[in-house]
Structure 1
Amino acid sequence: MEITKTAIVSMVGRPNVGKSTLTNKLVGRKVAIVSNKPQTTRTRITGLLNKDGCQYVFLDTPGLHKPRSRLGDYMVKVVEDTVTEVDVAALIVEPIPNIGAPEEKLIAQIEEAGIPSILVINKTDTVKHEDLLAVIAAYAARHEFDAVIPVSARTGKNLDILMEEINKFALEGPQLFPEDMVSDQPERQMAAEIIREKMLLLLDREVPHGVAVGIEKMETRESGTVSIYATIYCEKASHKGIIIGKGGAMLKKIGELARRDLERDLGAKVYLDLWIKIKEDWRNNQYQMRNFGYQDE
């Protein structure tokens, strides 16, 4: 397929509005981890789709929130640096008829930059049509979006219409990434994120928000098996005990679920070795954050 146009799209919004789920649906592959917990996405993730002569570059970002740590500061900066350096900004919101502080801040940035914008109202499968009209009216009174598209990332409703709108802002030019790429994430980073996703799924309260995953070694054996040696870093000794679980049951479950996804993504049998270490207050340690890949691009 000859690529003659590109469209770079920032996917922005508050935590838990479905940015990563929507990015995965549009790309057609899972490139960003998802969970029902806020702040699942910690850094910018690029999802790529080549379709009808256009390369779409989706920039999935952390949810804009009030930071309480250096990691939080970093996440907010990622959003602020990404929202306007694009061809079109997609502001993703829930079907609630009032504009909160995160949305207000993002709209102000879009206006200041003077870039095209699409309001994407997600989770429309959870509300009635008349309730949706109130949401559209509230945002229309605040900003003149180039398009307003009600969608459901979960069911796929209206995603084809969203793609048609995004295509209007594509620019003539060569493709930015190789045709066979679906994300710019290195395999090590994707493996670490998959392991972290399973902890978000299985662990409660603040425990999964205080973890980071480092891939110490990743190699392919002669047999074709991919060996991955990973260390889970947590902030407290009590958290370490929760992650391990009674008789090692929780750590085993995390490993089983992560290995299943890794084998699907890598197309090979995976040997996964997990260890746990304590790094107190690493979310406020700039050196440790850099070690885990949370650094200015």
Structure 2
Amino acid sequence: MTGYDPPGEPLILGVPRAAFRPSPIFLALVALFVASGVMTWNRYGNVGFDVFLFVVSGWLVSLCLHEYAHAVVAYRSGDRDIAHRGYLTLNPLKYTSPLLSIVLPVVVVLLGGIGLPGGAVWVDRHAIPGRLRHTLVSLAGPATNVLFTLVLVAAVAWGPELGGPLEFWAGVGLLAFLQLTASVLNLLPVPGLDGGNMLQPWLSLAYRRMYDLFAPYGFILLFALLWSPQINRAFFGAVFAAGDALGLPRELYQIGYALIRFWE
């Protein structure tokens, strides 16, 4: 359903059309991703810095699309106010916590080489009927990471036939690895994270209350779990096994990780 508000701005289901336009910040990130990819392909200047820009900007673009997927499914499921909160513009500054959504995941990429789940878009769960819809809203984000993983792994597989420098494909390989780790982390049944939120609607009332009590501390719980040597080994063992099964060469994303730390 479309219409017009008083100033003549087109409306879609009562929401201004501008609420659906990609923000200049997101478009700038996409432009940086493309430009740095071209720079890496041509080994322009400091190729390590080129790969750094390529991987970080690509990772930020994927974080925006991850949160956008949550928002658009929530909007389609009944939460119309999510458009007014700016989540459908792909603007990372609109997230509930830009620090947790953008800054922290980038720092973790540089320090640890894993794709940490980002912060969040705030969804009005009361506006969304049915447990299945709630689960689909939470699933939408990790589904984008899985899709990106498969696309990037396919790109790496076909890369040698396209030619190009090793540094470029190492950057693509690292992006694929980041998406793979993000897929696994986001699907873990940790309270407050997407995997836990997928299960929350199906819990009994008593377990749901306990879940809601721990949900605000999901990030802390995730770090605590990964800090355990046994869980850390099991996690990376599963990620490496999944990467090997998909045909993602370990040495490729290891080279990519070394390149983005160009200051060393």
Fold match by TM threshold 0.5: no
Which has more strand, going by share of residues? 1
Structure in which a larger fraction of residues adopt helix: 2
TM-score by length of 2: 0.31
